A and B are shown apart, each in its own frame.
Chain A
Amino acid sequence: MSFLFIGCQWFTKDSLVSFSKAFSSKPSVLEKSLKRTERMKEACGAKCVLFLLFVQTWLVENTGHTSPGKPVLLRCRSPEKETFACWWQPGSDGGLSTNYSLYYTMEGSREDAVHECPDYKTAGLNSCYFNKTYTSLWITYTISVVAQNALGSKSSDPMFVDVAYIVQPHTPENISAELRTQDQKPYLMVKWDPPHKADTKSGWITLQYEIRLKPEKGAEWESHYAGQQKQFNVFSLHPGEVYLVQVRCKPDHGFWSEWSATTYIEIPDYFRPRDTSVWILIAVLSVCIFLILAWTVAIKCNSIKSYLLPPVPGPKIIGFDTQLLKSGKSEDMLNALGCQGFPPTSDCEDLLVEFLEVDDSDEQKLVMNEGEDDLEGRVKSSGNEVDNDSGRGSCDSHTLLLEVSNSSTKTYAQVGGKSNNEGSVRLSRKSSTNGKLLCFETAGEKTNTWPTANSSFLLARQSSCHNISKIHREACSLGNTTDMHGNISSAQSKSKEYRELHSTVSGDPKTWFADEKHAPLLPFKSAEYVEVRKLNQQSMLILKPKTEGGHKSVPPEFIGQEYTKVSGVISDRVLLLLRDTGAQGSSDTQEGKNQAVHPSLQCQVGKMVGTFPASPALEGMQLAASGYVDTAALLQSF
């Protein structure tokens, strides 16, 4: 065995020598060694080779020494662009003590001017630190680390470094977070200083900053880029929480620093934006509710108004000119009425014989004239108010007329012509659920029917008092014309006047009618006529109630042939009516003029107010010395 061992060793030695010689690129020696190895091979054979290998591994296991592994240069960094340091990671040390050395060359110097690291300690383990004297900017360093042990050495891959591009500063310092308020909203003002080693004062380094913060219990950071400024304001804070704040910096072209140490700041809870928002919500809701109410009131304005302040109707007398009346010239006024010589002379007598037909049907059925169309006007109905103010007088009393409130009956009193050669004035009243319509139609003397004219009579809601002069005028004119019937256009043109007429009548025709509920008070339940007898010399409009037979609901007013006459007008508002008994008149008040919508034509001379009961059952009648009758009181008694 030992002979074999010696022999193999010699053999290996020889082979090694020969191999090494072979590698020294000498072909002749190679041939020789090859021949020799072949001979040796024959000698030792496979056993020798195996043995050799065994020996080698045994040697390695016992000692464990190899040449070192290849180190790796990790990074080089400069904190302030004046010095820099490099770190490496060692490879395996091969079991032997390995030392590492760093070598570098600088661009521009000679190729073989290799320098070694000046400082291995300052930057820590496996590092090399270059201080100011060894640092040159804008020069490429070629750095490599060599690991060396007894068995060999290994060199790392070189790293090319230009110090100007490897700057990674330290973290910013002196971070302060201050809570401030702006418009009662809290915000955070964060201030910091650059790292003390970085020279920003001289302009050597320019740093940009980034700040991040999060609530203590939050999951994610909220980052903000702050540019080159050294403070930053953070809004959008949640009160009552503790916030963590961090800052970092970066040079123009370089690496971001580490995040600084955390600064804690608590946002106190007394900033309450929620309260403000709650108050705002409440204010908005109340404004909305108010607007809705206002809108509702505006919509129902009219009905509310009529509920609260029922309009006072006025008389509707065609041809009655209130202005003339105001001017006090009765002559002119009467002339304007279309008749010469008021009190009317016999010329117009036939025209003045007009009939006030009051028709009140229960079934929404119009008392139709022949071919008469529906009158589509509406009259506002007021509530069932009873006029408590008895002093108001006949005309202004809103209870003078029948009130129909919410009655489904359509009643109307037509003032229109029938086949009455005398030209009847029909007081039409038509009511719907909402109110009443007071329509006036006057017919000419020779008119038989008045269909077309009727149809075109549309009353405005708040029709005001008639102009009696107009009525008369129309009546006269109508009487002169024979083409009343078929001429719609002319009728319409005249209807305008009638509309005016109607519109001038007080829009509260309920004053004409008593409440239907007070059945006995309804003077117009049936078609009644009031005959305007005359305008006598006393400037009175004589109304003659003309009853048709068979109407039981004839109010007492219309019983009999009684009529009242207008005794006079007081201050444009009041129509003085005289009872036929002579002793009574009606005193009027000025009440009705409160209706702004209704012009104060309610009781003027010549206007037809209505019929007044002549029954002695008028208990409430105030018998004034002047002979006035308070129709309000009259009606009240019913």
Chain B
Amino acid sequence: PVSVLFLVLVCLDLEYRVTSAPICAHGDAGCHLLSVSDLFDRVIQHSNRVHSLSSDLYSEFERFLPVRNQIGRATRKCHTSRILTPNGKENAQRTDREELTQVILRLLVSWMDPLLQFHQSVAHNEELSKFSSNKALELSDMVHELKSGVEKVAEKMQLVGIISNSLNGVFPAEASLSSSASNEARHIRDYELLHCFRRDSDKVQNYLKILKCRIVPELGC
């Protein structure tokens, strides 16, 4: 009798076992859209965080460095300049989803290595605070997460059929890594890197929002 009771309990337990299941089962089109929207919200939040981190670090570097030659700012080139990105609203809206997604992924992939090196550079910099070093590390990690998040969104969209499967392999833009000996040169290099990255993170955030409001326009646009 005890064993029978035990069996019954086990069966009951099996019945009422809590499992994590997706909100929507496969095959339901409306449900797929909903989860895509959630994914978008998540990556947009991520990109927001990335951009705010980069802005903070940029301000710190700007304050920290000596008064620079302003003209030099404008002429510096970022290593991602080669990537063609829409630079206006009409241009962005004219760009199709696949290409936009591709651009986003390309940008993110291009920045993964340089940010790692940036963090190492900042970590070795005694003049900067520990706070900055932590931020740099967080920045590098978040970019990794953001990239994987966007990849998931792209997969989901391809699964659902929002975008075609024409996403080629993402070729990152190679960054020219100049190792500078002096502190000042390193500072300048990091500052310019931040300048470029801040801009690119803003691009990514903007493109993601455009994509989201184009694909799932009802919620929050």
Q: Which residue numbers of A lie inside 8 Å of B, CB to CB?
A: 81-82, 105, 107-108, 111, 132, 135-140, 142, 158, 160, 162, 164, 199-204, 206, 228, 252-253
Contacts and interface: CB of A to CB of B under 8 A. Distances in A.
B213 A160 contact: no
Contact of B77 (A108, A158, A164): A108
Contacts of B48: 252
B75 A107 contact: yes
B71 A158 contact: yes
B214 A202 contact: yes
A164 B220 CA distance: 22
Interface in B61-83: 70-71, 73-75, 77, 81
Interface of B: 48, 51, 55, 70-71, 73-75, 77, 81, 85, 87-90, 92-93, 199, 202-203, 205-206, 209-214, 217, 220-221
A142 B74 contact: yes
A204 B206 CA distance: 7
Contacts, number: 67
A198 to B, nearest CB: 11
Contact of B221 (A111, A140, A164, A201): A201
Given A137-B87, A203-B209, A160 B74 contact: yes
Contacts of B75: 107, 111
A135 B71 CA distance: 21
Contacts of B74: 105, 107, 140, 142, 160
Contacts of A81: 89
B81 A204 contact: no
B112 to A, nearest CB: 20
A140 B73 contact: yes
Contacts of B88: 82, 132, 135-137
Interface SS of A by simple majority: loop
B69 to A, nearest CB: 11
B215 to A, nearest CB: 10
Contacts of B89: 81-82, 199, 202, 204
A204 B73 CA distance: 27
Contact of B199 (A135, A164, A202): A164
7 contacts: A108-B81, A142-B71, A142-B74, A160-B74, A162-B199, A201-B221, A202-B213
B68 to A, nearest CB: 11
A158 B206 CA distance: 28
A81 B90 CA distance: 11
B71 A136 contact: no
Contacts of A158: 70-71
A145 to B, nearest CB: 16
Contact of B209 (A162, A204, A253): A204
Contacts of B51: 252-253
A200 B221 contact: yes
A138 B92 CA distance: 13
B73 A136 contact: no
Contacts of A164: 199, 202, 206
Contacts of A137: 87-88
Contacts of B85: 138
B70 A203 contact: no
A203 B212 contact: yes
B90 A201 contact: no
Contacts of A201: 213, 217, 221
A138 B87 contact: yes
A138 B209 contact: no
A199 B217 CA distance: 13
Given A132-B88, A202-B213, A203-B214, 8 more contacts: A82-B88, A108-B81, A136-B87, A164-B202, A202-B210, A204-B210, A206-B209, A252-B51
Contacts of B217: 201
Nearest to A106: B74
B179 to A, nearest CB: 25
A132 B89 CA distance: 9
**Of B74, B85, B87, B203, which is in contact with the most chain A CB atoms at under 10 Å from its CB?**
B74
Nearest to A133: B88
Contacts of A111: 75
Contacts of B90: 132
A108 B199 CA distance: 14
Nearest to A165: B202
Given A137-B88, A203-B221, A253-B55, A160 B70 contact: yes
Contacts of A105: 74
A36 B214 CA distance: 81
